[in-house]
Structure 1
Amino acid sequence: MKHIRNFCIIAHIDHGKSTLADRLIQTCGGVTQRELHEQMLDSMDIERERGITIKSNSITLDYRTPDGEDYLLNLIDTPGHVDFSHEVRRSLMACEGALIVVDASQGVEAQTVANLYLALEHDLTLLPVINKIDLPAADIERAQEAIDEELGLDPFEAIPISAKNGIGIEDVLQGIVEKLPEPKGDPDAPLKALVFDANFDKFRGVILQCRIMEGTLKPRDTIHFMHAGRDFTVDEVGFNQMKLNPKPQLSAGEVGYIVAGVKSVQDIEIGDTITLLNRQAAEPIPGYQPARQVVFSSIYPMDTGDYVELTKALEKLAINDAALTFDKDSSAALGFGFRCGFLGLLHLDVIQERIQREFDIGLVISAPSVKYNITLRDGSTLEVDNPSYWPDPTSIESVSEPYIKASILTPETYVGPVMELCREHRSESQTMNYLSANRIEVTSVMPLGEVLFDFYGKLKMITRGYGSFDYEPIEYRTTDIVKVDILVNKEPVDTLSYLVHREKARTRALHYCEQLAKEIPRHQFKIPVQGAIGGEVIARTTIAPFRKDVTEKLYGGDVTRKKKLLEKQKKGKAKMKQFGSVNIPQKAFISVLRTDKD
């Protein structure tokens, strides 16, 4: 065990985490020069295109020090985005140390601070790394100050590197070996293994990524999942070394994979503890938390004939992504679809894009919402995330919604606009903390529902890209939430209904009405588009009708002939309005949401 090091890389989005992982793999000879490409540990096309990590991944590297000693380095790559913080939490549980990567030109950002606190919770040894020192805007001294003041780490321990150009990578490997602790554990104790990730292989089923805390695991052992309560027989164990490398056993301190005939990720729980069925551990590894869905949205196929294909697509994605949940849903306007639960807006965006790319299905998505707790007058309680199931307002005693503690890091210049933005999004309390001469942390308590739509985009705009944002859920608080119905030609369109705070209801209803008026084609009769709370109309726009000139054929004569024709046209339009139906194109549903989100 003295020659094993288990570590992960913590960084804000786009601080060079995946590039550093690539250089470590390259330096340790994990891949040949011919196989080398950017973002080695990011397997999805979306991850490579957007430059983000969505799923954590692990690799075992063989490293020989200049003194000739051989070490086994287990690198666990973690996502940087706030939506996937549960992945980061599980990865940290599997490690003894972490590299904290700070961008030399941008300094410490919100996600770095948030993940640092997570790492400290798990008693990890931290090694700071200053990346991108080759950039013209790089300021190593300022980055060292930020590491000292904002992270509370020793700035002189920070290793300056350029992952892109391969500068300082050998120093990082030396730092990992010398400064990060070796794992602890007894190979002869009852087996305790943490499942920190899993991925699906169509030939072999689910491949579990595990860290062995205590004991030893061999093929043909029968394992027991302590939270899920299921049993499986192990077929193969080994190390991840860009490809699966089978070994005769995995023992305490090691990180590797297990193939045990598991058919779907949903059969097990990620973060669970594995033990042997015939020699069980006394208790599971502490710190287990199931993934919590916080954003809910309905997904419908653009072509109703694609419903069966959409069902298969979601089932295939759920095999690999245990955090995605879906239930059948239907809409009068859009037909059959699914109500899905996501970890956040980025997770929703990624799933939507994967369905469109990998399965070639066009989608219509309803407005995202959060889960509200409702207390009814008869004393019963409900949890509602779908406007379709909102109870009659007269039966509601009170409604509470989830609140978050948002942490925003911004240069001092933009503090005023940032605090104003928080106030616009119903912030209840704000505190400021001066981290360094020009850098301030604004902490704000606000509703999660307010962050869903345009908050992050506006923050980036007002801080010119220098603001960074992270949040953690705290509690439910009583609030005044109403259901707003959108009526087209006095008929409610169920898919466009949404839940919102009363003071924001009119503004958003007006936005919906204006967008629909632009997208719905004109008909032969006047079409009112209205937003209403119950029977009270709070916003309205009107789509003007086509006007045919019925008097065109007249070339003189008495004016009564003209009046007679116009009167006849008026009666015809009134009759048409009474019986005519309005065709709402698919792009109208999309435009309402997209503009709102941007």
Structure 2
Amino acid sequence: MKSNIRNFCIVAHIDHGKSTLADRMLEITKTLEKSDKGQVLDKLDLEQERGITIKLTPARMHWKGYEFNLIDTPGHVDFQYEVSRSLSSVEGTILLVDATQGIQAQTLSTLYMAIDYGLEIIPVLNKIDLPAAQPERVAEDIENLVGIDKEQIISVSAKTGENVDKVLDTIIDKIESAESFYEQNKSKFFLPSSSEQLKNTTGVSRALIFDSVYDKYKGVVAYVKVLDGEFTKKDTINLLYSENQVVPSQIGYFAPDYIPTDSIKEGQIGYIVTGQKSVREAKIGDTMLSFNKTGSENIKAQNIDPKSYKDLRNFAIPGFKRMKPFVYSGVYPMQASDYDKLKDAFEKLVLNDSAIEYDNETSSALGHGFRAGFLGTLHMDITRQRLEKEYDIQTVFTIPNAQYLVKLKNLSHDIIKQGTNITKLINTNLYKHIIEEDVQLTLGDIPMEIKESLKPWIVVSSGGQMPNPGDIDIILEPYSSIEVVGPQEYGGEVMQLCNEHRGIMQGMESIDENRILRRYKIPLAEIIVDFYDKLKSNTQGYATMNYEFLGYEQSDLVRLDVLVNHEPVEAFSMVVHKDKAYSLGKSIVEKLKDLIPKHMFPIPLQASIGNKVIARENIPALKKDVLAKCYGGDVTRKRKLLEKQKEGKKKMKQMGKVSVPNDIFLKMISR
């Protein structure tokens, strides 16, 4: 029965026990037997190894005559979009808080998102079996923040299973049925332009894709929540934003493995095997639409062409957006001969992770490689580990950068003459930060006046791509909003760190008598390299951070180049604020002086902005003791030998090349 369906997800900070609680639920409901291999829903080897959830995982359970559909979500901010799509697929959420640590920054951000979606919040305290647990204090924090009576908070131990059955009973009592929630909030699941008649069209089935994965045997598998109607294997399904049409080869639900079934119905969560070859063809947030004969007639009656995706998009479920990488890094094979192997590995990774972007790039120091985009530094680190463990490729990742928008004075620049800059602006959706009109552009449909306004703009995702200062008119920099939760005694350290990274305080509030929530507006580039590590170090590991992208603002930025033996090394180039260029340039050449091994000739290291050198260090030459064979004798003989050596070093410096070991680029990632 549809009224017996309860859909919910578990949201919490990293390491608060989401996956462990999900495992106990699966065991108590007899969905799975007790497992010895760790978290059942964390299927990737890296998830088991690192103890974190990287990909969301659904599972269906049955409890006291009710069908439960659970989505176990990632806790890290890098995967926030997956969490938002999961929240839009359920009617309630379990807010899980560690009784030893209390509410953290990412807990708050996800909680606010769940409240915006109108979901029922069930607060649960975990790890009450630990000696360090403080359930009373943490319960008061939850009461103050969420407004729920602390007497209603359920205290559990996900590890031992204590009180987990009470959580299952509360889900039945508190969370609305999928059918009832949809009827009460129907307007949220249709575009504002949709008519009332459209919202009540019979014969039309709609489903939201909240995740998609690539299976080497099945192809792309779309994880869906059915909002209207029913989907069967015989249906022809339209993907509205991908503009694809598929006939499913299999339909089913998760238990938590794939269980084939004849159909999935309104209110249920399941999967549809699309047969597509890449997850880019079944995008997260897209709408699946099918209609029977009656539905087709009803659509035509409303002057909607069933073969036109532009018309069919009237049925789209709101909230779709492209997953946009925020962090860009050069990725090069440690061994040049592994380039083709790395290319194949990226092609396979993208099949399963639509958030990764990559393009060819060549560096004079590192050879052939790729410029790759990631959701954040954790996502980047996970990709590096997957390349190493799954594909056996040792790689070098250059210093991460954000993406900048640059307006050029010189319209004869090659990228502008070729028109590839506009292509990139449209493909990345960055044009929305340049033009004021709220329009959705596609490559085949750009009005001439908008094309002219976009013409001088280019996208820059590495220091080496930044044009000469004389060609630049304006640089727009991405900004983010961050929330830092930490003990009051470390307030000075947090404020100093944020100020050093060009942060602007937006406000602060007290969570409890000891912890403060601080909000800052800060450039994205300032937090993607080492900000989180410094925050943890400065606060003895107690502070936590959450961030979200705000938009682009004009900033006084420059390209900082590093020259080794008067030759610029593109992999070290970066975009920095003008006020920080000198101190950063000085620290880089000082660090390189210790890292680059000595050669047979002296090596000058320089940091420069344009043609102006702002910092310099010298690596002295390795010298043979040419005076060792001189036991006394005339001093002129010694001088002659030293002069001869000096001339040889000068000649060697003109002809010699500096070898920069690959591991230096890894060491330089940490500023």
Q: Same fold (TM over 0.5)?
A: yes
Contact 1:409 1:439 in 2 (8 A): yes
- Cα distance in 2 for residues equivalent to 1:41 and 1:376: 49
- Cα distance in 1 for residues equivalent to 2:37 and 2:120: 30
Pick the aligned partner of 2:72 from 77, 82, 85.
77
- Cα distance in 2 for residues equivalent to 1:151 and 1:419: 27
Q: Which residue of 2 aligns with 1:28?
A: 29
* 2:79 matches 1:3: no
Q: CA deviation at 1:408?
A: 0.8
- Cα distance in 2 for residues equivalent to 1:556 and 1:118: 83
Letter paired with 1:240: F
Q: CA deviation at 1:438?
A: 1.8
Q: 1:188 to 1:74 in 2, by over 3 A?
A: farther
Of residues 153-162 and 224-233 in structure 1, the stretch that sits farther from structure 2 once superposed is 153-162
- Cα distance in 2 for residues equivalent to 1:144 and 1:429: 29
Q: Which residue of 2 aligns with 1:486?
A: 562
Pick the aligned partner of 1:345 from 377, 395, 413.
377
> Where in structure 1 are there 5+ consecutive unaligned residues?
65-69
Letter paired with 1:375: K
Of residues 452-461 and 315-324 in structure 1, the stretch that sits farther from structure 2 once superposed is 452-461
Pick the aligned partner of 1:426 from 499, 502, 514.
502
Residue correspondence of structure 1 range 161-180 to structure 2 within 5 A: 161-180=156-175
- Cα distance in 1 for residues equivalent to 2:630 and 2:136: 86
Q: CA deviation at 1:269?
A: 1.2
- Cα distance in 1 for residues equivalent to 2:526 and 2:623: 42
Q: Which residue of 2 aligns with 1:59?
A: 59
Q: CA deviation at 1:506?
A: 2.3
Contact 2:462 2:573 in 1 (8 A): no
Alignment root-mean-square deviation, CA: 1.6
Q: Which residue of 1 aligns with 2:592?
A: 516
Q: Whose strand fraction is larger, Structure 1's or Structure 2's?
A: 1
Letter paired with 2:47: E
- Cα distance in 2 for residues equivalent to 1:590 and 1:198: 32
- Cα distance in 2 for residues equivalent to 1:290 and 1:39: 30
- SS of equivalent to 2:315: coil
Of residues 571-580 and 306-315 in structure 1, the stretch that sits farther from structure 2 once superposed is 571-580
Q: Which residue of 2 aligns with 1:215?
A: 229
Of residues 353-362 and 433-442 in structure 1, the stretch that sits farther from structure 2 once superposed is 433-442
- SS of equivalent to 1:262: coil
- Cα distance in 1 for residues equivalent to 2:95 and 2:84: 15
Contact 1:189 1:214 in 2 (8 A): no
Q: CA deviation at 1:289?
A: 2.0
- SS of equivalent to 2:162: coil
Q: Percent identity?
A: 43
- Cα distance in 1 for residues equivalent to 2:349 and 2:566: 39
Contact 1:298 1:366 in 2 (8 A): yes
Q: Which residue of 2 aligns with 1:294?
A: 326
Q: Which residue of 2 aligns with 1:67?
A: none
* 2:549 matches 1:548: no
- Cα distance in 2 for residues equivalent to 1:514 and 1:258: 56
Of residues 529-538 and 170-179 in structure 1, the stretch that sits farther from structure 2 once superposed is 529-538
Contact 2:122 2:153 in 1 (8 A): yes
- SS of equivalent to 1:237: strand
- SS of equivalent to 2:592: helix
* 2:67 matches 1:94: no
Q: Which residue of 2 aligns with 1:401?
A: 477
Alpha-carbon displacement from aligned partner over 1:296-352 (angstroms, at most 9, x marks no partner): 111000100000000111111110001111111111111110111110110001001
Contact 1:435 1:441 in 2 (8 A): yes
Q: Which residue of 2 aligns with 1:37?
A: 37
Q: CA deviation at 1:154?
A: 3.0
Letter paired with 1:204: K
- SS of equivalent to 1:133: coil
Q: Which residue of 2 aligns with 1:206?
A: 220
Q: CA deviation at 1:12?
A: 0.8
Letter paired with 2:492: G
Contact 1:224 1:277 in 2 (8 A): no
Contact 1:515 1:588 in 2 (8 A): no
Q: Which residue of 2 aligns with 1:274?
A: 288
Q: Which residue of 2 aligns with 1:121?
A: 116
- SS of equivalent to 2:354: coil
Of residues 479-488 and 460-469 in structure 1, the stretch that sits farther from structure 2 once superposed is 460-469
- Cα distance in 1 for residues equivalent to 2:268 and 2:291: 21
- Cα distance in 2 for residues equivalent to 1:110 and 1:312: 38
- Cα distance in 1 for residues equivalent to 2:18 and 2:502: 34
Q: Which residue of 2 aligns with 1:307?
A: 339
- Cα distance in 2 for residues equivalent to 1:252 and 1:367: 47
Q: CA deviation at 1:89?
A: 0.4
* 2:104 matches 1:109: yes
Letter paired with 2:12: A
Q: Which residue of 2 aligns with 1:16?
A: 17
- Cα distance in 2 for residues equivalent to 1:476 and 1:44: 35
- Cα distance in 1 for residues equivalent to 2:225 and 2:316: 13
Q: Which residue of 1 aligns with 2:444?
A: none
Contact 1:406 1:471 in 2 (8 A): yes
TM-score by length of 2: 0.86
Residue correspondence of structure 1 range 131-210 to structure 2 within 5 A: 131-184=126-179, 189-210=203-224
Residue correspondence of structure 1 range 374-523 to structure 2 within 5 A: 374-377=406-409, 380-523=456-599
Letter paired with 1:219: K
Q: 1:505 to 1:238 in 2, by over 3 A?
A: same
Contact 2:403 2:478 in 1 (8 A): yes
Contact 2:204 2:291 in 1 (8 A): no
Q: Which residue of 2 aligns with 1:47?
A: 47
Letter paired with 1:32: E
Q: CA deviation at 1:189?
A: 4.5
Contact 1:198 1:206 in 2 (8 A): yes
Contact 1:231 1:277 in 2 (8 A): no
- Cα distance in 1 for residues equivalent to 2:359 and 2:24: 43
Q: CA deviation at 1:578?
A: 1.1
Q: CA deviation at 1:401?
A: 0.5
Q: CA deviation at 1:36?
A: 4.9
Letter paired with 2:58: S
Alpha-carbon displacement from aligned partner over 1:6-59 (angstroms, at most 9, x marks no partner): 0000101111111101100111112123x4532111111211222111111101
- Cα distance in 1 for residues equivalent to 2:512 and 2:622: 63
- Cα distance in 1 for residues equivalent to 2:534 and 2:172: 43
Letter paired with 1:116: L
Letter paired with 1:479: S
Contact 1:188 1:216 in 2 (8 A): no
Q: Whose helix fraction is larger, Structure 1's or Structure 2's?
A: 2
Q: Which residue of 1 aligns with 2:257?
A: 243
- SS of equivalent to 1:148: helix
- SS of equivalent to 1:79: coil
- SS of equivalent to 2:388: helix
Q: CA deviation at 1:164?
A: 0.7
Alpha-carbon displacement from aligned partner over 1:345-404 (angstroms, at most 9, x marks no partner): 100010011001111111111110001111223582222112222111012122121111
- SS of equivalent to 2:241: coil
- Cα distance in 2 for residues equivalent to 1:243 and 1:427: 46
Q: CA deviation at 1:153?
A: 2.7
- Cα distance in 1 for residues equivalent to 2:549 and 2:482: 9
